Amino acid sequence: MMEQLRKLLDQIFAFLAPRIERAREATAPYTAQLQARYQKLEPREKMLVRIASAVFALFIVYDFFYMPITTWRDSIDTSLETRQREAGQVQHLVDTYLERKKQLLDAERNTVPTGKDFSLFSVLEKSLTASVGRDKIASITPGSDRKLSEGFVQYSVDLKLQDVNLNQIVDALYGVKTISAPVAVSNMRVTRRSQDPHTYDVEMTCIALAKGA
């Protein structure tokens, strides 16, 4: 900032110097007359003239030098603040983009393979048969595939377990969690059976995310 101010002052002085010289030459006769009249004044009058000259000089400096420089400096400060704010907004957009890209990569890593080789219905049926037994599976029904943003497809399966105890519920959930493909339980409802207060019926929905073709 100081270096720019110094260069501006040098340019102003370089522009004004020849004009000031011509003005001084043109006004030299009048200046001589004023000096002669000034010398004839009383000491008190000379003091008043010097005070008036100083006030006038301050006015000239303030109005033609200080105010333009101050306005120019404020303009530069405003411009810098605007640029800094714009740079901050751009950085925020970049950070948001990188975060969204990371989330997308994480989502892609947590997707199941697409195609005929994968069936959410089959892997859940196999897992639950191993963890609680086929006789505890009351029903298992594939849900409707749902297309999500970014080209993802969500598979879902609704299933019901009957007459299971707490240990079997835990085993069923653990079996779902440890399936080789990333499968999650989106909702679950456990109902105590009236015939035996130590057994339960369970309804749950399992989902898996796949990257669309």
Predicted confidence (pLDDT) per residue in 147-196, tens digit: 876 677 788 899 999 999 999 999 999 898 888 778 888 889 999 988 88
Task: Go through the chain and tell me how many residues it has.
Answer: 213
Regarding whether 97 and 24 lie in a shared domain, the answer is yes
Query: Domain total for the chain?
Result: 2
The parent domain of residue 98 ranges over 2-107
Predicted confidence (pLDDT) per residue in 17-69, tens digit: 777 777 777 777 767 776 677 677 677 776 776 787 777 777 776 766 667 77
Regarding whether 102 and 129 lie in a shared domain, the answer is no
Q: Which has more pLDDT, 110 or 64?
A: 64
Report the distance separating Cα 206 and Cα 153, nearest Å: 14
Report the distance separating Cα 85 and Cα 93, nearest Å: 12
Q: Above 60 in pLDDT, residue 108?
A: no
